[in-house]
Structure formats: C-alpha cells, structure tokens
Amino acid sequence: MAAPEADQLIRALHLARECIALGARLGTASQVTGLRASMLRTYFFRHGGAVNGRRPESSEWVHWGNLCLRAEASEFASIFSTLHEQYRCLPADALVIAYRMYAERCPRKPTVSFDRAFALVCDLLGIWLRKEARLAMHRCPQCRARYVAEIGAPPPRDPGCVFCHLLQRYPLDPRVQAHYVARRADLPATLVLPDGAGPEKAA
C-alpha cells in the first residue's frame, strides 16, 4: 500500500472510531468514512457491541418530533452549518465535531442521536443518503436564531420559530423545564427561572 493510501486509510479508521464512540451504527460509520461495513466490523466489533436496530433514513422527525427534539435538532444543525460554511470543515469532520460539541452540552444522553444527526446532514447538504438537499438553515425574523426547516419554507407564524416556542413554553411546561434543568448554564437568560421558582410559580 502506497504511503498516501495508507494515510487515507488511517484517517478514515480514526474518523470511524470517532463516529462509533459517539454512538453511530455500523452503516452510518460506513457511509461517513467510505469504508466497507465488513472492515469496520472486523476492526471495531469483533467481539460484538455494535448499536442494534434500524437507523433513521430521513429527517421527517424534525417536523413531527416533540418541541425539545426539534429545538435540539436546530441547535446541532446550527453548529454543523457554522463549521461547514464559515470554517470550511469537510462534511464528515463537521458532523463529528458538531455532534461532539452538541453532546457535551447535554448532561444526559443527547436527545438527537448521532444517526439522526447524520440523517439531518444528509438532508442539509444532499450527500451520502441523498442526491439533493431537502432542508436549509433559516433565520427567525423575531428572535434572529437560526433554525432548520424545508428549503423555501415561509417565515414562521406567531409566535415564531422553534426557539420562540421554547421560550414561550418553558415557564409554563414542567416537562420542558425538566428537560433543560440540568443545562441551566447553557440556557439563554430569558429561559432561566429565578432560584426557587418551580413550575407552580411559573404558571
């Protein structure tokens, strides 16, 4: 094997290890790295341990998922788009770095799995599982946050984008508060309730 080919293989294996460590299924790691699934199984799953179950093949959950899932999908997508567009990271590198940055903000298991993040990138860029892009980043005219939606989607109606909905629901919904309570340090100031203010006081 020539030196450039060896370097390329080493880089791909390192990337595969990163994906798998972040929870990627075998098929996802194979798509991202271009390495055969059989090779990845030999290197990383010789004694089992692969993530079981069918991976999500689309990002339809961005539209019908619960509020926290949709908000965190846009959170990941915003980080990914910044890395890819502004810092010129390759899609595979941007996927891994963005997911790691997103996961580090989550004190518990991330709401958006790595496989779902992968499907989201496929629909944002039209790569891997997609021949053309289906989603894009939009700027909310009310809160100015970037959120993910279908290409050409009209501006959101009142009360605004998914983050506007989150700001409106947070003081009133104990489930949303419970989801974000461990992430207080990462919350916008408008989401943080005064100390001792529980759901009954917020309502």
The three-state secondary structure class of 39 is helix
Q: Which of 65, 62, 22 is nearest to 179 (CA)?
A: 65
Q: In Å, what is the CA distance from 35 to each residue of 29, 42, 159, 161?
A: 8, 12, 45, 38
pLDDT 10s per residue in the chain (203 long)? 667 899 999 999 999 999 999 999 999 999 999 999 999 999 998 876 666 667 777 898 999 999 999 999 999 999 999 999 999 999 999 999 999 999 999 888 999 999 999 999 999 999 999 999 999 999 999 999 999 999 999 999 888 999 999 999 999 999 999 888 767 656 555 445 444 444 333 33
pTM exceeds cut of 0.75? yes
Rounded Cα distance between 173 and 112, Å, is 21
Which of 86, 181, 91 minimizes the C-alpha distance to 128? 91
Select from 9, 15, 183 the least CA-distant residue to 99: 15
Kindly give, in sequence order, each residue whose CB lies less than 8 Å from that of residue 137, ignoring residues fewer than 6 positions away.
Answer: 77, 78, 81, 124, 146, 147, 148
d(CA 184, CA 56): 30
CA distance linking residue 165 with residue 70, whole number of Å: 11
Closest CA to 81 of 35, 126, 136: 136
What pLDDT is attached to residue 11? 96
pLDDT given at position 20: 94
Angle at 43 between CA 37 and CA 44, to 5 degrees: 85
- What's the confidence (pLDDT) of residue 197? 44
